Amino acid sequence: MIDLGDRIKRRRQKLGLTQEELAARTELSKGFISQLERNLTSPSIATLMDILEVLGVDISDFFAKDEDEKVVFTPDDMFENTDDEIASSTLWLVPNAQKNAIEPIMVTLRAGGSTYPDAPHDGEEFGYVLSGSVTLVLGLRRFKLHKGDSFCFKPTEEHYLMNNAQREAKVIWISTPPSF
């Protein structure tokens, strides 16, 4: 049996909405939303459709089984792209991450390799150097990172990684929203 109230509550919380905000956007009372989330009342079809519209989900996705959502990914699920022109490869750790809020990749930079410059965009970038050393270029600034170092920034300038060392470097890089 589907727990309608729990699904609405989880989706509302995922969007960072309070019960008051959901109530205001759907022209319902906070008390009704509270009772709905605790399965003490049931919405009409029209009310449910209004709630789902505010929650940004269509009815088929809302009622899709959670078990269908893939949680664990193995190397067989991952996709790798090697670019010999810039001496690097990118491994997408979570396939179809474009539908998620974050996109984790592992970048491998051979000696002299780099990533392509990425234009400024909304969101945040995070990286962790697994091995080797790299230079993070942010606009006119350069930051040298070694194994065990991490970076985090808002991508308000062109940015990329390069490897000026003689050995390979590996970096876990996470972007939000997805942009790789």
Place of tokens 């969101």: 123
33 with 97, same domain? no
Place of tokens 């940015």: 159
> pLDDT tens digits, the chain, 180 residues: what are they?
678 898 899 889 988 999 999 999 999 999 999 999 999 999 999 999 999 999 999 888 888 765 556 788 889 888 899 999 999 999 999 877 556 788 899 999 999 999 999 999 999 999 999 999 999 999 999 999 999 999 999 999 999 999 999 999 999 999 988 765
99 with 129, same domain? yes
Kind of pairing, strands 169-176 and 133-138?
unpaired
Stated as kind and residue range, the H or E segment containing 76 is none
Q: Would 73 be classed as within a structural domain?
A: no
118 with 156, same domain? yes
**Ramachandran quadrant class, 43 (left: phi over 0; alpha: psi -120 to 50; beta: rest):** beta
The per-residue pLDDT for 176 is: 87
Tokens read off for 175: 């972007």
The per-residue pLDDT for 113 is: 96
Range of the domain at 13: 4-68
- How far separated are the first and last CA of the chain, in Å rounded? 39
Q: Reduce the DSSP state of residue 108 to 3 states and report it.
A: strand
172 with 84, same domain? yes
86 with 171, same domain? yes
87 with 168, same domain? yes
The per-residue pLDDT for 1 is: 64
39 with 110, same domain? no
The per-residue pLDDT for 98 is: 53
d(CA 121, CA 73) in angstroms, rounded, equals: 28
Tokens read off for 76: 């067989």
Q: Would 158 be classed as within a structural domain?
A: yes
Which of 43, 68, 93 is the C-terminal boundary of a domain?
68
Report field, pTM of the whole predicted structure over 0.75: no
Q: Reduce the DSSP state of residue 81 to 3 states and report it.
A: strand
Find the CATH number of the domain harbouring 21: 1.10.260.40
